[in-house]
Structure formats: C-alpha cells, structure tokens
Chains A and B, each alone.
Chain A
C-alpha cells in the first residue's frame, strides 16, 4: 500500500490551538501552535472555559498561518485528522467543529485521532517506529504505559490511579510557591538540590499502574512540618527529592513492563518528556537493554501540537478509520478499541 498522504491535522484538546500539514506521516510542511500558557499562568492553571474562549479567538489565525506556511492548498489534502479526545470538552469541540467544517467544504474524509496516539506517533518524526513498541506517555493529563504489538494497535498496560504526572508537578510547585507550570520549575531547581528529605514510596494495586497523590500529600505535610518547627525549607532539596521519587516510580514501572512483554522499541512521549532528569535516567536505564531501541523525541514534538495528530492521522487514514459529520468531541475517549 502506498504511504503517500497529505493530512491537515487539528488539535485543541487542552490549551494549545494547533494546526499542521503533514506529508506521508512524517514530514512536517507546517506546524502552528498558539499557546495559551501566559493567560493560564495568570489563573495558576488551565481554566476550561477560558481555554475554550481562547481557542475560538485563535482558530482562524492558526488555520490561515498553517495553510500559508504549508505550501499546499486545502484541495491537495487527502484527509482532515483531528483530536477527538480525551481532553477538555469545550476545547475539543472547537477543533472537531473546525475539522468538520473543512471536511464538508472541501469534501474530504474525516479521521478521528486519540490524543495519546498522537503523542506516541510524534516519534515518527525522529525515528523509524518499530513494533512491538512500549510507549511511556507522560504529560499534564496522562501517565500511561502503552503497548503496541503492531501499527495502530494500542493496549494500556498501566495508567495513573490518581493524578497525572504533570498535574503532580503542578500541585507540588504550587505548594512550594514555584509558579505554573510546575514541571520546568521543579526540574530546574532540583539540579541544585541533593538528598535531605525523605518521601514515602508509592504503592499501587496493579504492578504497572502509577500513583502520585501520596507523594503530593507527603510534600505538603513536609512543608507544614518544617513551618511548624520554624525550620527554613530547602526548596532545592525538596524539589530534588520529589523529582527523584516521581521518576523512581515512572522508571520502575517502565522497567517492569519491559520485562513483562516483548519489546523492540521504547518511546518516550508527552509534555513531561521534556524533563531533563527523566531523559537522562531513562537513557541510562535503557543502556542495560542493548537490543531495545530507545526514542526520545525532540522538545518541539513532546508538548501538544497538531503535527503529532497528523502523524497518527496518516496511519489511521491508511487503516480506513473515519468519522462522519455527526461525530463529536469525546472527553473520555478510549485508546483501546
């Protein structure tokens, strides 16, 4: 089957309005992302209604820019791929409606894409994807170990029982008064820290699941205890301890998964994969598995964007996955079909 395809992809699941044009599943013709981070920073987190408002403000600007930079026209496009979910319902609606409008006007097929599939296939921009594959998906909304025996076949081996990893970083950063988003702030501060504090180990019922809420409350209790005793909190040391504890949890489960299923490639995906310490520690861990390839995507395709939806959309398009005009945003969209 020919791999040739030209996909117009739209992603609006959270706080980025993003549109991209992707050729043959791995060539970026244009990739426009309008981030709302500055607005949400003022609110100390993503406000769903505010996010929806910003999407509708941005959609026409982003669309025109994406088409303009792509060097192609909408008539050249083979399909419109869009993030159907999961995500914030009001935000998803804008992208779904924009996609349906384009599909109707230009008479193009509609290809629904799961946001996580997008994060995983973002790796197609930097490496040849090999199966069976294990993806460690870490972001503000997700913490998942996804197993793929073959192309576009997803099995969730483990997921978080409470907060997503990025959420845990944000909450802890709030307790430590480090601002929003919390991930980069803690990652940077942890570089100057060392072991001083002790946080409890995480326990989960299923061996490959994650849990971060215990760590988060432990940090809060520690901060309160230090305050009560009139001791000055060493923020760098706490950032270090928290980050190591979170990554211990993530890497332990990844290692367990590798030893449970047959894997040829491990890919890192999602916004938290920008975390420098995670990149270092995962790379080191994978050194002991010389037969398993590791893909760590460049920063530009780890945070939410539409290029990744185009990469996954190209595969879904080839597989014949389609949506019709009655399709809608699905905030709780399931990756496993």
Chain B
C-alpha cells in the first residue's frame, strides 16, 4: 500500500511516502507561509526518493486541522483533487495527533492568534476531547490543574520553549488512527471558527 502523508496545518510542511508501515521518504521543514510554494516540490522529491510514480499512489493521509486556515486548505486541495481524478482513498487525522504522536497525556497547543490557542489532549495517539480554542489563561489553568500532562507545540504562548516531538512517530500514529473519508466532496478543514466571525 503506497501512502502519501501531508501536513500543512501549522508552520511546518511535512510530507512523507509510507509503505507497509515504513516511512520511505520524508520532507519536514519549517515553511512558515511558504507551504503553498513548497508542497508540490516536496511531494515530488519524496516520490523521487521513494522511486514511486504518481499513479502508483493508493491513499493520502492528511491533517484536517486545526491550524492556519490557508495552511489547512493546502493539503486538503491536493487530496481532494487527487481523489477526484484517480482511485485514491483519503484519510484524515488532526494536527494535534501529529504533534503528540503516541505519547501519553500530551496537551498540544498551536497559535491561533489574538492570544488564543487551538488545543486538545492526545493520549497514545487518540484525541481525548475534540480540538477546540482556548485562551492563554485557560491553558495555564489546565497546566496547573494537570501536573501529570506534558505540553507540546507553541509553548511560547505560555512563555515556555517550543516543544516538538518525534515527527516520524507522529506520522505513523496519524496513519494508524486516521479515518477514511467517505464523501470527498463534503470534506472540509477543521476550522473551529465559523463563517459568521467574518461578517463585518
């Protein structure tokens, strides 16, 4: 089974070719606001390194969010287009699971701007609760109340050093728990903010 993993939800660009639970090639880079320019070359490079042809691809696993809106749409556009023109099945997972990987009780937070964070608790690869939006105070409160949790992601939001876990473990965890998309046309990013917030 030749699988392509893509994450463009946060400031990294992560692309991997995975076959039989093995990461055959990997592109993982800080690509703040340049994922759109870099994603196709990254996919192409991974395929070249894996010695795959595009038409051998059987499935795409992508993070549906949360994260930057422009970002989450990048991987999703690639996946929706591929599924429209070829027999490629699409699976989704979340950026929180990618970051936490298989570690225990890990609360992942990602900068959602305006002093807010997208966050959620991940335990051994599974989301304990749905991802949602937190204020910085709420995150700090959670940290005080749960000394047994570890925190990962944009920790500068709570005045700590950023912390990123092993990306390969994150990718394999995502692939393990990703859900198959039944209706590709209905697939939309996990925004967590509604259209109404854009009404003037």
Chain B residues within an 8 Å CB radius of A47: 195, 198-200
CA distance A241 to B191 in the complex (A): 45
Chain B residues within an 8 Å CB radius of A63: 81, 84-85
Chain A residues within an 8 Å CB radius of B83: 60
B residues 148-200 with Cβ under 8 Å of A? 184-185, 187-189, 191, 195, 198-200
Q: Which of A48-56, A154-162, A291-299 contacts B (4 or more CB under 8 A)?
A: A48-56
Q: Are A94 and B54 in touch, CB under 8 angstroms?
A: no
Q: Are A93 and B82 in touch, CB under 8 angstroms?
A: no
Q: Are B43 and A94 in touch, CB under 8 angstroms?
A: no
Q: Are B69 and A97 in touch, CB under 8 angstroms?
A: no
Please count how many residues in chain A sit with their CB below 8 Å of the partner chain's CB atoms: 33
Residue of B nearest to A95 (CB): B77
> What is the CB-to-nearest-CB distance from A95 to chain B, in angstroms, rounded to a whole number?
9
A96 interface residue, CB < 8 Å from B? yes
B13 interface residue, CB < 8 Å from A? no
Chain B residues within an 8 Å CB radius of A93: 36, 70, 73-74, 77
A43 interface residue, CB < 8 Å from B? yes
- Interface code A293-337, partner B: CB below 8 Å = 1, 0 otherwise? 000000000000000000000000000000001111100000000
Q: Are A56 and B188 in touch, CB under 8 angstroms?
A: yes
Q: Are B85 and A74 in touch, CB under 8 angstroms?
A: yes
Q: Are B80 and A102 in touch, CB under 8 angstroms?
A: no
> What is the CB-to-nearest-CB distance from B38 to chain A, in angstroms, rounded to a whole number?
7
Kindly identify which residue among B44, B73, B85, B199 contacts A43, using a CB–CB cutoff of 8 Å.
Answer: B199
> What is the CB-to-nearest-CB distance from B199 to chain A, in angstroms, rounded to a whole number?
6
A59 interface residue, CB < 8 Å from B? yes
- Interface code A62-89, partner B: CB below 8 Å = 1, 0 otherwise? 0110010000001000000000000000
A residues 92-110 with Cβ under 8 Å of B? 93-94, 96-98, 100-102, 104-107
Kindly identify which residue among B44, B70, B77 contacts A104, using a CB–CB cutoff of 8 Å.
Answer: B44
Residue of A nearest to B43 (CB): A104
CA distance A328 to B195 in the complex (A): 25
Chain A residues within an 8 Å CB radius of B198: 43, 47, 49-50
B residues 63-77 with Cβ under 8 Å of A? 69-70, 73-74, 76-77
Residue among A49, A104, A327, A329 having the largest count of chain B Cβ atoms under 10 Å: A104
Task: Give me 13 A-to-B residue pairs in the complex whose CB atoms sit less than 8 angstroms apart, sorted by A's number.
Answer: A43-B199, A47-B199, A49-B195, A50-B195, A52-B70, A56-B73, A56-B76, A60-B81, A100-B39, A101-B81, A105-B81, A105-B82, A325-B40
Closest 10 CB pairs of A and B: A325-B40, A97-B77, A101-B81, A60-B80, A60-B84, A100-B40, A63-B84, A328-B37, A105-B54, A49-B198
Q: A-side interface residues toward B, CB under 8 Å?
A: 43, 47, 49-50, 52-53, 56-57, 59-61, 63-64, 67, 74, 90, 93-94, 96-98, 100-102, 104-107, 325-329
